[in-house]
Structure 1
Amino acid sequence: MSRSRRSAAPEPTVRGRGRDRHGRGIRSSATGPFLPPLRTRTDLFDMTLVAAIEYLRGLWPQELGKSVFEVASGPLSVVPGVGVERWMVTPAMNRVVFYRLPIQRLSRLHENDEMHQRMMIETCVFRGVAELLDKDPWDLAPDRFRHF
């Protein structure tokens, strides 16, 4: 029995245009065309950060009116003896940079649910703003913690 030889070289496969496996067509989003897209961890982080900053700006309009708040993936280096920073404050520029990945992934939560993740993000915002204003984090919103 003789084998047939292919005279033409096989065509290269084109990747990156979507998934079309076994002739089923390109995959759609998991939520479908009529539902809003699912919330991601980045969306939760951004919404919580903005809400906490707006709350503090309402309490401290003069001090935080011209402050700049930014989000970065992570710090460029590790601080010896401290570890990975969660935020960086630059008082001369009136700026606070929050590092999303260290806050989300390196924080040890006793329960990893959405409420505790939001509390961790808010804690970092309060501590970063307190460092910017040179105040204690508990002094930023004293009436918030009075329950009597």
Structure 2
Amino acid sequence: MPARPRSRGSRHGRGIRSSVAGPVLPFLSSRETRFEDIAADAADYVTALWPSELGDVRFQWADMPPRALAGRIDEVPEWAVDPERRVITIFRLPLQRLPRVHIDDPWHRQIAIEGAVFRAAAELIGRDPWEIAPDRWRHH
């Protein structure tokens, strides 16, 4: 008798398995995924505001800057801009572990990440950072 193909989700005839978190519990998120979500949303926002200047720019994330970018020991860059390749790299650990915020709460940390994306985009296109998203923080 030939062996029956084993279905990955139907062990012992129980049917397809559901999510580990189930329908009630939220999915777990990490610092890394929250950072990527915030940075990606900010990149999408600024690209939508400046499509002709930033439409071809690639935003990427890295944990730490390479040693070549760290000029002084007391200064860790939060982003790097490569104008030739049209790439902006936002560094996660300096923004999460060494945030320059006056109140250390989730909202201010989010602003620090978004601000780094806006300032990096401004640097790439040669604009003042406040021009990039002037209405973004007007209500705060």
What TM-score comes out, normalization by structure 2 length? 0.75
* 2:101 counterpart letter in structure 1: L
Match of 2:80, SS state, is strand
Decide which of 49, 74, 98 is 2:39's aligned counterpart.
49
Match of 1:66, SS state, is coil
**Alignment RMSD, CA only?**
1.8
Structure 1 stretches of 5 or more lacking a match?
Answer: 1-31
Q: Map 1:53-64; keep pairs closer than 5 Å.
A: 53-64=43-54
Q: CA 1:144/1:37 → structure 2, altered by over 3 Å: closer, same or farther?
A: closer
The answer for the alignment partner of 2:60 in structure 1 is 70
Match of 1:108, SS state, is coil
> Moved runs in structure 1, 4+ residues, more than 4 A?
none
Tell me the percent identity.
41
Decide which of 88, 93, 104 is 1:101's aligned counterpart.
93
The answer for the alignment partner of 2:3 in structure 1 is none
Post-superposition shift, 1:39? 1.9
- Number of matched pairs: 116
Q: Distance in 2 between matches of 1:113 and 1:143?
A: 22
Q: Which has the higher contact order (CA 8 A, sep 6+)?
A: 2
The answer to whether the aligner puts 1:128 opposite 2:120 as a matched pair is yes
What TM-score comes out, normalization by structure 1 length? 0.71
Q: Distance in 1 between matches of 2:71 and 2:97?
A: 17
Q: CA 1:45/1:145 → structure 2, altered by over 3 Å: closer, same or farther?
A: closer
Q: Distance in 2 between matches of 1:103 and 1:133?
A: 22
Rg larger for: 1
The answer for the alignment partner of 1:16 in structure 2 is none
Structure 2 stretches of 5 or more lacking a match?
Answer: 1-19
Q: Distance in 1 between matches of 2:51 and 2:43?
A: 11
The answer to whether the aligner puts 1:86 opposite 2:78 as a matched pair is yes
